[in-house]
Structure 1
Amino acid sequence: MSKILIIDDDFDICKLLTRFFSKHGYETFEAHNAKSAIDFLKETAVDLVLTDFRLPDEDGISLLQKIKLLRPQTLVIMITGYSDIRISVKAIKAGAFDYVTKPLHPDEILSTVKSALKKKNTVNTPAPAKQIPQRFIHGTSPESQNVLKHIKLVAPTQMTVVIEGETGTGKEYVANTIHNFSSRAGKPFVAVDCGALSKELAGSELFGHVKGAFTGAIAEKTGCFQEANGGTIFLDEIGNLPYEIQVKLLRVLQERKISKVGSNKEVPIDVRIVTATNDDLRKSVADGSFREDLYHRLNEFNITLSPLRKRKEDIILFANHFLRKANEDLGKDISGFSSDVVKIFNRYPWYGNLREMRNVVKRAALITQGEYIQQDALPHEITYHHADSFSFDHEEEENITDLKSSAEKAEKAAIIKALQETDNNKTKAAKVLKIDRKTLYNKLRDYAIDL
């Protein structure tokens, strides 16, 4: 019988999920904060942890890192709100198996748990480390065609690559495609989200540690560089790497050797490094937060990915791709999208890019009972943005004379622009707008802004 630990500070949700999973044959346990969850896991091994991202004493990413350090074989599924899509993506890159969004749908969460436990039972049998190649779907837009051309040019070389683009534009897929088109194909491909690495654990996660190297190091750990030996390591959000780790990474690039935390022994490695960022690393170099020598060692070749809203020709192509994947994952046979949904997709700005689209399509497929996905299967945020953008597109025809209405639209547009420029960082956006965080959150609620 598989064991599941449910972590949520809402006692009612915990009881509801406990009864639900017990009914389906799982042994369940409860914890209501991060500390009690970690204390429990120190004493008891479970197969899977289902945790809310927002806990009273710790956020989900930090808790996830501790769980992976304490119980590396335990799978973690994160529960988030729809507005936390980017956080959910970070959780996956930090080691979560998947995420589910509120409001919770029983069929969706059960399907995700079954998939996780099936994977756990499969990977627990010894097997050579090998990354299953991901299929890279390239668009028909000029921007997408140019990216594909650059991938084919750089892949056969051993050059380090920096991939630039907004969150969710497919940087990891591009990195994986470079790997699969190279002579290292079939060897390990290891992806690491540097933005999810705490200062304390970054060295251990990348280079490994020996037993007793620090509090909580109850066993020796193999780092990501050793796991990727012979293949490719993908360092996403490289600009967030702590400065002292940047120094160690530069030495790895120069000498092709690593040292585990707590050990002086050097281990030779043969790894190709591909990095990605949604920041301007040149600005980070200029302000001193990123080493210039490391930047030049990493940036032997550069690929820039355009946001989905700037390559309209690709929108429905990718939506159909994600629908095929959703059909496979959910055992569905949905033929496509209604004409209304196609129009909504083409008008929606897709601030979360491909990541957001994948989540929207999969959830819509789960809800849909007919042959085509209809508008009522989409999240309110998608249809609302559609209606709002439509009114902006036709503003000159509406002859708006209401001063209050015009001011509100201008204010909303300014908030959206600030969030885009700060990569949805609410604290930074509030500073740009010269308001406090509480005021910003109130306005996000009032205008139903959900980026």
Structure 2
Amino acid sequence: MPNVLIIDDDEQICKLLSKVFNRMGYSASYQLTLKEGLDKIISEYIDIVFLDVNLPDGNGLDAIEIIKQRPLAPEIIIITADEDIDGAELAMRSNAWDYISKRESHRDFKFALERALEYRRQKQAKSPEKQINCAAIIGKSRLISNCLDKISTAAHNDLPVLITGETGTGKELFSRAIHDNSKRFHEEFVVVDCASLPEHLVENTLFGHAKGAFTGADSDKTGLMEMADKGTLFLDEVGELPLDVQKKFLRVLQEKIFRPIGSKKEVKSDFRLICATHRDIADMVKQNKFREDLFFRLFSMNIHLPPLKDRKEDIIILAQHHLNSKKDLSGKNCTMSREFLEELKLYEWPGNVRELLNTIDLVFSEAGDGTTLFPHHLPENIRAVNIRNKIKAQNKANTHTPPFFPNKKKIGSIPKLKDHIENTKHAYIQNLILVTQGNIKETCRISGLSRGHIYRLLQQYNIKGV
């Protein structure tokens, strides 16, 4: 019997939905706080979770990633009393199964549950896909695991793939992994760096040319699209393709046929296309800088690579792996001190994995004959940024922390802890209502509290909405 869990601070809704789901023949239970709900998910097997957004002790959207890390993680249906468009979009980007308003009817909730269960049954019955070889991709974070799952899916079909992400996140590495695990692995993986090609050479590079097509064309030249026949064509920084080339390239994708410059004959090429970019192609489409029809062809599958700052648990793994490879080449065995590791985790890494690996190369050289890496070995710019962030964090902490040695003359004026907490809470809610100008929806979003909780506090402290 499938197990359904409802996490919502509105007990009336919880009881109502539990009753509906139990009548459908499922085992339904509920928890009124996020912590209690997460504890239940950890301790019991749950198939479907109906998760509220605004809970007394946190935001449901923030918990999606935690829930997804569980083995056999449940499908998540976000529920909310607010028509929050941004929240709905974030829920979908976080891989929630569905998003439903509390205003919907019982029938809608029952339908959402049935569809989620059907999807779950099909997913569990699906034969496991072949193991893929991604030894070159280092990391154990949930975000990277999600990307590896998508690589597995992409490797077992022939659809165009668009890989997005900041500079230095490893877009070409992931593209090669798709090719190496596909049925085309024994054919060419042809790389085209669209950003480095002069605009007047892009078409010639991709399509090739016939002898005599222009001055200096003393012989036929095979284009990269023809070289990628039966293999994979990788367009790095596809956002840099000129608009006129985009139009011609769209036909190639549709027909798998193109004509080299100056040639009377058309050439066939059965290549698999993988593109990558650090730019927002959807925004470029809105600005008429990228063809919409080509965008939809490229967007058959999208793999977004997370920045390194969002997967900090992988920083040390990447650094250690690269350091080990340096040891294998040089014979010098270096270890990273605890302080050095802390500095690596503190830094934001705007250049992502590429910047991290380059930094490890530098400190390995900087250490000379030393066997232990210390913060002093790091580049000055990283140490300067880190010390600035440490001071900012310390100053922020000091504004909220009383002195360790209070002025004895003023000890008698210190209120009781309970009174201090109540006064602080009162001031917080009062200031928040002023800032949001009485907008309860915005107040809930900023505070992370439910609408009911906010109204109870307003009544308790006799605060009038603006």
- State if a TM-score over 0.5 links the two structures: yes
Unaligned runs of 5+ in 1: 1-132, 401-451
Matched, 1:267 2:264: no
Q: Which residue of 1 aligns with 2:240?
A: 240
* Contact 1:341–1:373, Cα closer than 8 Å, also in 2: yes
Q: Secondary structure at the match of 1:197?
A: coil
Distance between the aligned counterparts of 2:279 and 2:179, measured in 1? 23
Give the alignment's Cα RMSD to 1 decimal.
2.2
| Cα displacement (A) at 1:360 | 1.2
Distance between the aligned counterparts of 2:282 and 2:169, measured in 1? 20
Amino acid at match of 2:181: F
Distance between the aligned counterparts of 1:209 and 1:155, measured in 2? 32
| Cα displacement (A) at 1:153 | 1.5
Q: Which residue of 1 aligns with 2:187?
A: 187
Are residues 344 and 216 of structure 1, via their aligned partners in 2, closer, same or farther at CA, if it must alter by over 3 Å? Answer: farther
Q: Secondary structure at the match of 1:230?
A: coil
* Contact 1:205–1:224, Cα closer than 8 Å, also in 2: yes
Q: Which residue of 2 aligns with 1:256?
A: 256
Amino acid at match of 1:176: R
* Contact 1:138–1:145, Cα closer than 8 Å, also in 2: no
Which digits, 9 at most, give the CA deviation of each residue in 1:222-276, with x for residues without a partner? 3222222221111111111101110121111011123222323211111100111
Distance between the aligned counterparts of 2:190 and 2:245, measured in 1? 18
* Contact 1:327–1:365, Cα closer than 8 Å, also in 2: no
**Percent of pairs identical after alignment?**
39
Amino acid at match of 1:394: Q
Aligned residue runs from structure 1 range 26-37, under 5 A = none
Amino acid at match of 1:346: K
Q: Which residue of 2 aligns with 1:314?
A: 314
* Contact 1:138–1:148, Cα closer than 8 Å, also in 2: no
Amino acid at match of 1:239: G
Are residues 216 and 393 of structure 1, via their aligned partners in 2, closer, same or farther at CA, if it must alter by over 3 Å? Answer: farther
Distance between the aligned counterparts of 1:384 and 1:215, measured in 2? 54
| Cα displacement (A) at 1:342 | 0.8
Which digits, 9 at most, give the CA deviation of each residue in 1:111-141, with x for residues without a partner? xxxxxxxxxxxxxxxxxxxxxx984324211
How high is the TM-score relative to the length of structure 2? 0.54
Distance between the aligned counterparts of 1:373 and 1:229, measured in 2? 48
Distance between the aligned counterparts of 2:134 and 2:199, measured in 1? 31
Amino acid at match of 1:347: L
| Cα displacement (A) at 1:191 | 1.9
Distance between the aligned counterparts of 1:217 and 1:315, measured in 2? 49
Q: Which residue of 2 aligns with 1:345?
A: 344
| Cα displacement (A) at 1:346 | 0.3
Matched, 1:280 2:275: no
Deviates more, 1:241-250 or 1:314-323: 314-323
How high is the TM-score relative to the length of structure 1? 0.56
Unaligned runs of 5+ in 2: 1-132, 401-466
Q: Which residue of 2 aligns with 1:354?
A: 353
Are residues 391 and 273 of structure 1, via their aligned partners in 2, closer, same or farther at CA, if it must alter by over 3 Å? Answer: same
Distance between the aligned counterparts of 2:355 and 2:210, measured in 1? 39
| Cα displacement (A) at 1:221 | 3.1
| Cα displacement (A) at 1:372 | 2.8
Distance between the aligned counterparts of 2:373 and 2:263, measured in 1? 56
Amino acid at match of 1:364: V
Q: Which residue of 2 aligns with 1:202?
A: 202
Are residues 347 and 251 of structure 1, via their aligned partners in 2, closer, same or farther at CA, if it must alter by over 3 Å? Answer: same
* Contact 2:162–2:301, Cα closer than 8 Å, also in 1: yes
Distance between the aligned counterparts of 2:281 and 2:233, measured in 1? 19
Q: Which residue of 1 aligns with 2:415?
A: none
Deviates more, 1:206-215 or 1:260-269: 206-215
Distance between the aligned counterparts of 2:222 and 2:200, measured in 1? 16
Which digits, 9 at most, give the CA deviation of each residue in 1:283-313, with x for residues without a partner? 1112211111111111111111110001111
Q: Which residue of 2 aligns with 1:170?
A: 170
